[in-house]
Structure 1
Amino acid sequence: MHTFIGLDVGTQGARAVLADVSGNVLASSEENFPLSDSSREEQSPETWWRACARVLEEVLQHSAAAGLQAISVTSTSGTIIPIGKNNEPLHPAIMYSDGRQAEEGALCKLTAIQYNPDGYTAFNTTSGLPKMLWFLRRFPEKMNDIHLFIHAADFIIGKLSGRYDVTDFTNVLKSGYDVRIERWPEYIWEKLPLRREWLQTVVPSGTPVGPVTADIKGLRKNVTVVAGMTDGCASQIASGAVSPGTWNTTIGTTLVVKGVTLNAVKDPQGRLYNHRHPEGFWMPGGASNTGADWVTRLFGNDLAALNEAAAKLLPTEHLFYPLMQEGERFPFIAPQARQFETPGMDDAERFTAGMEGVAYVERLAYELIEQLSGEKVNAVYTAGGASNSNAWLAIRANVLNRPVHKMKEVTGATGAAILAASGTHFSSLREAAAAMTQIEKTITPQPSLVAAYENNYHRFVHALKEKGYA
């Protein structure tokens, strides 16, 4: 039996899964990190590695691990680690969620727009390039000790294979790499105080990096380590949205839309950004500040009765835009955006209208994508906590007027395992995903509900426009 391991190094812990060629998860293990008040800003890469080694040893105890072919890694996007010539960190990992790089983010954005306007220019505090610049400004005495700036997934891949000099298309996007022409733009070292030799070689996700060199019990040295991917893209892979026209919506704390197009989607407002697909396609994506965080904040965790009631209320005539913070970024940019709702709703009506409101935002996102790309959205796969609500799935299928496919395994670790298989056992990522992703159920639209939601959707969009949001 051929098997593959995916490792996911998140903000709070590490997870490993062992999967077979059909995508069945045969074993999994996870471990939380010991977090502190500063963990949103900095974390220890060595702590990550020790946790990874332990969860790997756990899944390697499964009998199917005897057929292990390859391993890959996914982790947070925008997290940066400066390493020295001995490949040891010169500083803790500077986390994507570290907000201290606002000044550097503004400088990187201004420089990129001036010198590379067609490349990635949406730099902010979550981006990798500003974090490199911030480190140089704060610790100039360490400048001559720097060997490379690497990303979170690269550190674990380096520990596994001894190769720290290689990264992938998805991790380098926010570090300034131009994925259109597949090279680092000169402004990074000509206009910013960085050096070309500090930047890694970039390969498509899924490219074999080398054999395992790490000493981990049960991990053979002939297992191939494969170039990784950022966590959001890995979850997209696990959803099966890997061919042009296929899209994934993950509704967790926020609503994240990612898909595949033949061409890069150019968005003058910067609501969408484009990752590069390993096979040369494009993987556009955007994230709304609206998602499912309102559910637990307004209604708690005991939702069975509300979901049952919601199924009998579809569709409501109410409007509820359940934005829990100030401002929206996708599918429209409106820093002044605020929550709004029809007054006088009871709990069941409000709960149902909130799910409908998020579905309207999702539809608006896909209409924007089709408008900007000129390409059709053919299939929507879904993941995240919201996909566990049958009522919400029904709302979304009818608002979108498209079948919505709920996937069986949608974790980043599963996506990393599929990626490992794509570069070794299968001939492509699309072939690997076709074999290893499984649809749990498909929800199809009902003509009567589609017609009712068509009217309600336009009322919702009209309300957004009246308030100056969209």
Structure 2
Amino acid sequence: MYLGLDLGTSGLKGVVIDDHGSLIAQENVALSSSAPHPLWSEQDPETWWQACCEVVALLQQRLDLTKLKALGIAGQMHGATLLNAQGEVLRPCILWNDGRSQQQCQTLMANCPQMVALSGNLIMPGFTAPKVQWVRENEASIFAQISRVLLPKDYLLYRLTGVFSTDCSDAAGTLWLNPQTRQWDDELLAATGLTQQQMPKVFEGSDVIGCLSQEVAEQLKLPCISVVAGGSDNAAGAVGMGVTRPGQGLLSLGTSGVYFTVSEAHRANPENTVHAFCHALPNRWHQMGVTLSAANSLSWLSKTTNLSVQALLEALEHSAKTETSVLFLPYLSGERTPYNDPYAQGQFVGVNNSTRVEDMTLAVLEGVAFSLLDCQNALATAGSEVTELSLIGGGARSAVWRQILSNVLTRRLLYRDGGEVGPGLGAARLALLGDKQQAGGNIDSLIEQYCLLPDVLDRHEPETSQTAYYQKKYELHKAFFNSTQHLNKALSELLAEKE
């Protein structure tokens, strides 16, 4: 058996597969984040470790984990986890959806234009480098103690093995990695006052980086199994769904929303705010567009209305409502593609006395779909177009949402087996690949054998009867954002002044 862990923003999942790559069991432990100031988003890395221990314990109640052969981890990208020389965490991790470093981005763009050329990506607050530059400028005593900079999943790998490691797909999202060489770049690191000595070693996702330490194996009651480098949540999710070849596409509806396409080479396109990163598999790259609040938008509505997500979706289905005059801009955490705007705000437009909660739910589902259409349009401009998309993520469980996405994107959508645990499944597959490769297998042959497309559980084709409605509403969606964008920053600055 092989164990995949998926460290997300809202929870940590554990996924176990057998020697043929079939899903055996899964468990999940919830996580929370904090926002102590406007635009901030942080997590305590110790809670990741506690969740890891809890997930393993839950799986042990169902399975004999002494049969495990290897472990892999997928994780939320871009988080800045800072350690001192003793391996202790210096401050809470600054997460991917933290927008505080806008000024640092502007300074880096002005002073280090080579960062865009070498990294192949626009400098955005979501990435790791400007976060560490913020620490350098605002928490100098902490910056001076930095011995290692780790991404979230790599902190768990360190706790499990004692090894400082990362993989190409996750490291590419820091702005310190050159995606063409798939290694750290001295010039990029120097831009934020760092050196290679402070960075973990870069591996391919299926490379074995070590074994569970004896102490951890005893604590978790596991054998001293091999551990692979793993992958970013998006790249690992693609591995889990068999999206490994150029021309294939993936849509992820997690806390954030991701439109992911595989490319045969590193194809940078920063002018369209398209991310161009390494895949978690050797000799493969990918492009993606990102909207920062996908399933999170529905979770926010759930908390605001004091109704569960399931209750909101069931009420919408029972209402048979397919159109609404209410419009929702899902920018609860700012936005990346195509705006690169940390000040973007969520908005409901068109609410009146006759508005029902079903209208608001439908507007949220549509608003996220429109943001993913923004991503699709940006990727098309960057030369990446697909006719068919596989879906993963918790939000993909909703058949109503899947159909709305198909209608808005005018693409065939395939909901595949294991889609709700895509990154965890991908992490387990990377562990399997690493184990087989260590036994002498050829990596390309192993990818063909084990990274298969899972069975299709549901298929959605665009409904042409809805095309005109969505086209008109998408134009309104863009118009409302463009007309209020300048006000969003002013409102954020007002809140900052009050604080």
Normalising by structure 1, report the TM-score. Answer: 0.81
Change in CA separation of 1:133 and 1:405 when aligned onto 2, cut-off 3 Å: same
Answering whether residue 142 of structure 2 is matched by residue 152 of structure 1, we say: no
3-state DSSP of counterpart to 1:322 = strand
d(CA) in 2 for partners of 1:285, 1:195: 28
Report the equivalent of 1:440. Answer: 457
List per-residue Cα deviations over 1:204-227 (Å, max 9, x = no partner). 222211232243243222x21100
d(CA) in 2 for partners of 1:98, 1:291: 16
Q: Is the 8 A contact 1:60 1:219 kept in 2?
A: no
d(CA) in 2 for partners of 1:42, 1:298: 25
Shift of 1:257: 1.5
Paired letter, 1:368: A
Report the equivalent of 1:274. Answer: 276
3-state DSSP of counterpart to 2:150 = strand
Change in CA separation of 1:115 and 1:384 when aligned onto 2, cut-off 3 Å: closer
Answering whether residue 180 of structure 2 is matched by residue 174 of structure 1, we say: no
Answering whether residue 433 of structure 2 is matched by residue 422 of structure 1, we say: yes
Q: Is the 8 A contact 1:321 1:358 kept in 2?
A: no
Report the equivalent of 2:5. Answer: 7
Q: 1:459 aligns with which of 452, 463, 472?
A: 472
List per-residue Cα deviations over 1:365-419 (Å, max 9, x = no partner). 324323321x430421123444333333333334444331113323233332122
Shift of 1:267: 3.1
d(CA) in 2 for partners of 1:402, 1:34: 34
Structure 2 unaligned blocks of 5 or more: 438-442, 484-499
d(CA) in 1 for partners of 2:409, 2:10: 34
List per-residue Cα deviations over 1:322-364 (Å, max 9, x = no partner). 2144875434568778654598976456655664554454445
Paired letter, 1:308: H
List per-residue Cα deviations over 1:49-74 (Å, max 9, x = no partner). 34423432442455553432210122
Greater helix share, structure number = 2
Change in CA separation of 1:75 and 1:210 when aligned onto 2, cut-off 3 Å: same
d(CA) in 2 for partners of 1:5, 1:187: 37
d(CA) in 2 for partners of 1:99, 1:256: 18
Report the equivalent of 1:383. Answer: 392
**Structural mapping, 1:290-329, within 5 Å:** 291=294, 293=297, 296=302, 300-301=307-308, 302=311, 303-310=313-320, 316=323, 320-325=326-331, 329=336
3-state DSSP of counterpart to 2:258 = strand
Report the equivalent of 1:330. Answer: 337
d(CA) in 1 for partners of 2:380, 2:34: 43
3-state DSSP of counterpart to 2:26 = strand
Paired letter, 1:419: L
Q: Is the 8 A contact 1:41 1:95 kept in 2?
A: yes
Q: Is the 8 A contact 1:242 1:259 kept in 2?
A: no
d(CA) in 1 for partners of 2:168, 2:159: 20
d(CA) in 2 for partners of 1:75, 1:120: 22
3-state DSSP of counterpart to 1:241 = coil
Q: 1:284 aligns with which of 272, 282, 287?
A: 287
d(CA) in 2 for partners of 1:191, 1:394: 45
Answering whether residue 246 of structure 2 is matched by residue 244 of structure 1, we say: yes
Report the equivalent of 1:212. Answer: 212
Shift of 1:148: 2.5
d(CA) in 2 for partners of 1:231, 1:416: 9
Q: Is the 8 A contact 1:403 1:442 kept in 2?
A: yes
List per-residue Cα deviations over 1:118-176 (Å, max 9, x = no partner). 52443344322233334445565567754322222122212222211x21112222332
Paired letter, 2:375: A
Normalising by structure 2, report the TM-score. Answer: 0.77
Structure 1 unaligned blocks of 5 or more: none
Change in CA separation of 1:188 and 1:268 when aligned onto 2, cut-off 3 Å: closer
d(CA) in 2 for partners of 1:390, 1:441: 8
**Structural mapping, 1:72-87, within 5 Å:** 72-86=72-86
d(CA) in 2 for partners of 1:366, 1:36: 31
Shift of 1:89: 1.7
RMSD over aligned Cα, in angstroms? 3.8
Report the equivalent of 1:132. Answer: 132
Report the equivalent of 2:264. Answer: 262
Paired letter, 1:163: V
The alignment covers a number of residue pairs equal to 456
Change in CA separation of 1:324 and 1:56 when aligned onto 2, cut-off 3 Å: closer
d(CA) in 2 for partners of 1:81, 1:189: 16
Change in CA separation of 1:462 and 1:276 when aligned onto 2, cut-off 3 Å: same
Shift of 1:249: 1.9
Q: Is the 8 A contact 1:245 1:260 kept in 2?
A: yes
Q: Is the 8 A contact 1:21 1:436 kept in 2?
A: no
**Structural mapping, 1:29-178, within 5 Å:** 29-32=27-30, 43-60=43-60, 62-86=62-86, 88-89=87-88, 91-96=90-95, 97=97, 99-114=99-114, 116-137=116-137, 140=140, 146-164=146-164, 166-175=165-174, 176-178=176-178
